[in-house]
């Protein structure tokens, strides 16, 4: 693309070509046309190196001539991280932990780091010549990072994910399955819009589970995870209101799980390009899938976890804290003030209470019940039963989840 083609319509064509370059449209005063054209050229070169999904791009380094990228066959990452390698193989190659660190967080390396990594992996960096050197503009760096991630695999050590599952989905007709998935999708979009109206940030992504959706917040940190938990409440509330207004099978009955754990994020190949939306798979999705099998219709389960979570991803004074599920729920309850003013079905929400259930003690307090779930593989895990009560000014409260006394006794442990 020649520079003189980058008129306003040209900027739109740039955005159409790369899903990340749409950020450039509002930066006319900050980034020149040559920079934009430079990034379009880089996107095309990365696409070539990706080779229809045959390769994965791990790291990048800016140099005077352009960009150095580290490109490896997609199967090489699996070989590096294989758990069944012999001691001799590990001694002569890099560790799985080293590869995991490479595909975690920011992908930009210094030139010295790039040279060291290329020697360890025995892979020669590839030079992508650019029409002009990259600048240090933060938006430009951010876009390059997103480009690299789109053509690679990303590891996230602590990701909050919720799973919505449609009860009895396999017994429905294809038309009913379609309408119920569409209804759930609408509830997701409606909840997202309501949170944005209250200026509660959630950059949510979704991936189909077949019977429902995995949902996660692309943003990181404690606040992002708490926002996702409240997002789950609003989705379930929207679904409950819709169910109360229909007698048909157009609206699904749901059950839901929430968990925090590690995962890999990637973009599948779709035709000749990687998809613009990402997918996740890992410990967190595996745990959610096994928990949901044991969940009762209408139940909300929270997995037992201890996760290292950043307190504030946007603050320069942010820190990492170890947070378990019980403490996380306490943080979530204390964070509900930001949802004041929320309206559901035209009624203002006056209060929301979220808690983990248990038995009532003599002093009036409640225990928190640990539920032992054993899956079909004979593996056991611990989960908690969650309840959410949403009180509205002029309408009946919306009570989500299952009461503790209704839980199946053989799955409980105090």
pLDDT digits (tens, 9 = 90+) for 333-344: 877 777 877 888
**Using one digit for the tens of pLDDT, what is the confidence trace for 23-66?**
444 443 466 777 888 888 998 999 999 988 889 999 999 998 89
| Number of C-beta neighbours around residue 159 at 10 A | 26
pLDDT value of position 309: 72
| pLDDT value of position 83 | 52
**Cα distance between residue 150 and residue 265, in whole Å:** 9
d(CA 133, CA 141): 12
Q: Which domains are delineated in the chain?
A: 9-151 (no CATH), 156-413 (3.30.70.1230)
CB of 254 closer than 8 Å to CB of 163: no
Q: What is the pLDDT of residues 137-187, one digit of tens each?
A: 788 888 899 889 889 888 988 899 999 999 999 999 999 999 999 999 999
Distance, CA of 390 to CA of 191 (rounded, Å)? 14
Q: Taking the CA atoms of the chain, what radius of gyration do you get in angstroms? A: 24
Structure token pair of residue 213: 């959706």
Confidence of residue 17 (pLDDT cuts 50, 70, 90): very low
What pLDDT is stored for residue 109 in this prediction? 95
Residue 27 has a pLDDT of 45
Kindly give the residue spans of alpha helices, DSSP state H, lying in 198-296. Answer: 222-244, 283-294
pLDDT at 234 over 50: yes
**Strand, coil or helix: 413:** strand
Q: Residues with Cβ < 8 Å from 107, sequence gap 6 or more?
A: 58, 59, 60, 145, 148, 149, 152
> Residue 338: what pLDDT?
77
Rounded mean pLDDT, 7-29: 43
User: What distance in Å separates the CA atoms of residue 170 and residue 167, rounded to the nearest whole number?
Assistant: 9
pLDDT at residue number 269 = 64
What is the pLDDT of the chain when averaged over all its residues?
A: 82
What is the distance between the alpha carbons of residues 385 and 104, in angstroms, rounded to a whole number? 32
Output the pLDDT for position 307.
Answer: 78
**Is the pTM above the cut of 0.85?**
no
Q: How far apart are CA 407 and CA 42, in angstroms?
A: 56
Residue 209 CA to residue 214 CA, distance in Å, equals 6
On the question of pLDDT at 312 being above 70, the answer is no
pLDDT digits (tens, 9 = 90+) for 338-361: 787 788 877 888 888 889 999 888
Average pLDDT of the residues in 228-255: 91
Q: Tens digits of per-residue pLDDT, 370-403?
A: 999 888 888 888 999 999 999 888 888 899 999 9
Q: Which residues of 82-91 are buried (b: 16+ CB within 10 A; e: fewer)?
A: eeebeeeeee
| Predicted pLDDT of residue 139 | 82
DSSP 109: -
Strand partners, 273: 270
Q: Which pLDDT value is given to residue 258? A: 96
Long-range contacts (CB closer than 8 Å, 24 or more residues apart) made by 366-369: 367/414, 368/326, 369/404, 369/407, 369/412, 369/413, 369/414
pLDDT band at 318 (very low <50, low <70, confident <90, very high): low
CA distance between the termini of the chain: 66
Torsion angle defined by CA atoms of residues 51, 55, 59 and 61, in that order, rounded to the nearest 10 degrees = -30
Cβ atoms 57, 152 nearer than 8 A: yes
pLDDT at 10: 37
Structure tokens at 359: 């038995």
Q: At 60, which helix (H) or strand (E)?
A: strand 55-63
Query: Taking 50 as the threshold, does the pLDDT of residue 13 lie above it?
Result: no
Higher-confidence position of 201 and 317: 201
> Rounded distance, CA 3 to CA 249, Å?
55
With both helix axes pointing from N to C terminus, report the angle between 222-244 and 174-197 in degrees, rounded to the nearest 10. Answer: 130
- pLDDT band at residue 74 using 50, 70 and 90 as cut-offs: confident
The residue that leads in pLDDT, 271 or 220, is 220
The per-residue pLDDT for 5 is 38
Better-scored residue on pLDDT, 67 or 5: 67
What is the structure's pLDDT at 413? 43
SS3 content of the chain, % helix, strand, coil (to 5): 40, 30, 30
């Amino acid at each position: 693309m020649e520079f003189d083609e980058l008129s306003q319509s040209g900027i739109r064509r740039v955005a159409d070509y790369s899903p990340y370059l749409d950020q450039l449209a509002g930066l006319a005063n900050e980034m020149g046309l040559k920079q934009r054209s430079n990034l379009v050229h880089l996107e095309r070169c990365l696409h070539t190196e990706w080779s229809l999904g045959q390769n994965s791009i791990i790291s990048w380094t800016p140099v005077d001539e352009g960009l150095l990228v580290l490109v490896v066959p997609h199967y090489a990452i699996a070989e590096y991280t294989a758990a069944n390698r012999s001691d001799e193989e590990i001694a002569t190659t890099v560790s799985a932990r080293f590869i995991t660190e490479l595909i975690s967080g920011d992908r930009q390396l210094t030139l010295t780091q790039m040279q060291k990594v290329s020697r360890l992996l025995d892979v020669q960096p590839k030079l992508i010549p650019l029409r002009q050197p990259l600048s240090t503009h933060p938006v430009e760096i951010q876009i390059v990072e997103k480009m690299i991630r789109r053509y690679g695999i990303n590891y996230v050590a602590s990701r909050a994910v919720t799973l919505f599952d449609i009860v009895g989905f396999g017994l429905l007709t294809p038309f009913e399955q379609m309408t119920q998935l569409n209804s759930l999708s609408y509830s997701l979009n409606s909840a997202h819009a309501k949170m944005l109206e209250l200026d509660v940030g959630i950059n949510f992504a979704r991936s189909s589970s077949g019977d429902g959706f995995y949902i996660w917040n692309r943003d990181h940190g404690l606040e992002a995870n708490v926002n996702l938990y409240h997002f789950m409440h609003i989705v379930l509330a929207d679904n409950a209101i819709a169910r109360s207004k229909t007698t048909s099978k157009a609206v699904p009955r749901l059950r839901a799980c929430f968990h925090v754990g590690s995962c890999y994020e990637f973009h599948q190949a779709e035709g000749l390009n990687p998809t613009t939306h990402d997918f996740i798979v890992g410990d967190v999705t595996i745990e959610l899938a096994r928990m949901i099998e044991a969940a009762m219709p209408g139940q909300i389960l929270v997995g037992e976890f201890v996760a290292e979570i950043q307190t504030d991803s946007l603050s320069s004074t942010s820190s990492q804290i170890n947070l378990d599920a019980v403490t996380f729920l306490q943080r979530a309850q204390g964070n509900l003030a930001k949802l004041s003013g929320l309206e559901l079905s035209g009624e203002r929400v006056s209060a929301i209470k979220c808690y983990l259930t248990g038995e009532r003690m003599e002093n009036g307090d409640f225990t928190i019940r640990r539920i032992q779930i054993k899956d079909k593989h004979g593996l056991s895990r611990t989960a908690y039963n969650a309840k959410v009560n949403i009180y509205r000014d002029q309408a009946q409260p919306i009570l989500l989840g299952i009461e503790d006394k209704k839980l199946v006794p053989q799955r409980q442990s105090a």
